[in-house]
A and B are shown apart, each in its own frame.
Chain A
Amino acid sequence: MAYSPISHLLLPMNIMLNKIVTLIIIVIIFTVGTLQAQESKKNQLLLTAAAGISFNSIDNLRLPDDARLSGFGSSVSLIWQPEYLLSVGFETGWLFMNKIERTNITTQFGSTSISSLWQAVPLLCIFGMKIHDNVSLYGGFGYYDIIAVNESFGTTVATSQMNAGLSGALDYHLNLNSQSAFGARFTLHNITELQQRLITLQFSYHYSLLAW
């Protein structure tokens, strides 16, 4: 079915936002619940925002040569960092996958302009581990909601599909003060179900929401 250009864009966005907000609330409630049970003061709740570029390293897709494979990639994570080895949290974001844009091309159905955009919203459970004073490693698993918008032949179609996947990230950070740190991050997203791979290079900012 075809949607109007405005409504089709709003629909998946709203659904996605609802999903993300619900999951963030669940993580916060869960974390606060464990927080109250803690007597130790060696824990902190860390909010990390990262922004940079996302590169679609394609394994099996036969995309045309003029397809754009890199774009903006952002992520937000909320991590509970206890005194022990592993920290646990949730990560989401908005990652560019690929875009094809062509004007006035000739197809067997006549001349048309084509625009196809794929973006991924990760919904991951992540585990982090500090391996050096300034270096942390993260591994995550969960789902990637692939949101695609295709405009061609005068019709715009927006679709989304959930695909299972894994991620691994290396984060280098420098402390700014007792509450914040700044760094850079390399992340590999393997959307295994779709057999797609995304590499992101981002600047990251870490902020301690709570420490106890």
Chain B
Amino acid sequence: MRNLFLIFLVTMACLVKAQSNEIDTLTHRGVLYARHSPYALTWSLGIAITSIPRDIVEEEINRFPFLQADIAYGLPYNFSLVAKLNTMVLTNRLLSGIQWNYPLSSFDIALGTDIGYLLGFVTINGFDNSINSWLVYPYIQCGYHHNEILVSVRAEAEYITSQQTFAGDIQVSDTRNRRNGLAFSLIIEQPFFHNQRCALGLKISYSDFVYQAWPAFETFKRTLTVPEVFCAFTFP
């Protein structure tokens, strides 16, 4: 955990130190980047692979890829609306939120909050389990753009405001207002061909509840370090 935080700080420091004098005038077409052009809609589609410790999920739900869709809409006064969907049928998480950015030469610093809703249901071997949850993700993001290459580092906190799990009609758990953990991401977006971009990211989460592993119904209380790699194609 401390290592991750140091890596995040080092990256931020390196980016700031390597600041270029050039003021970029390019239109920012990155979905995951800190700044979006006013009234421009961009979206991306890709996959995210999470590696959940095998001890927890055993042979059942490990290494299942999620489809990931992101959408961003630029607003005046440096505001943007953003939304994200992660889905693999059994587990679906929808996030939406607003962010504000502060441009600084080749850099953009963004602050924002996403509100998320998690819905999961699994019917296997007669089990009828489900989850629904409301989540909040405040974040800070530092972006660096140069020659149409967009690099972002992001730190986010995760809070569970309300979460219920069910086995059939029985409510198994009811969690309210709990700090769940932190996550750090590194994302690179660059042109792919024509107007398309590709995005590559790595995210390390350090959290108590890993939403991708909700069917495991973990009783043991532990904080897990979970890496996630994602790759997406961005459309203007």
Contacts and interface: CB of A to CB of B under 8 A. Distances in A.
A and B touch in their complex, CB below 8 angstroms: yes
Interface string B180-211: 00000000101111100010100000000000
Contact of B148 (A34, A84, A164): A84
A85 B149 contact: yes
Nearest to B229: A141
A84 B191 CA distance: 7
Nearest to A125: B231
B51 A164 contact: yes
14 contacts: A34-B192, A38-B193, A82-B193, A84-B149, A84-B190, A85-B149, A85-B188, A86-B198, A86-B200, A141-B229, A164-B49, A166-B227, A193-B51, A193-B54
Given A86-B188, A86-B200, A164-B63, A192 B51 contact: yes
A198 to B, nearest CB: 17
A192 B190 CA distance: 28
Contacts of B78: none
Interface of A: 34, 37-38, 82, 84-86, 88, 125, 127, 141, 164, 166, 192-193
Given A82-B193, A86-B198, A127-B200, 4 more contacts: A37-B193, A85-B149, A85-B188, A193-B51
A193 B63 contact: yes
Nearest to A129: B188
B62 interface: yes
A82 B190 CA distance: 10
B149 A37 contact: no
Nearest to B230: A141
Nearest to B191: A84
A82 B147 CA distance: 14
Interface string B54-93: 1000000011000000000000000000000000000000
Contacts of B193: 34, 37-38, 82
A159 B41 CA distance: 50
Contacts of B227: 166, 192
Given A86-B200, A141-B229, A193-B63, A37 B194 contact: yes
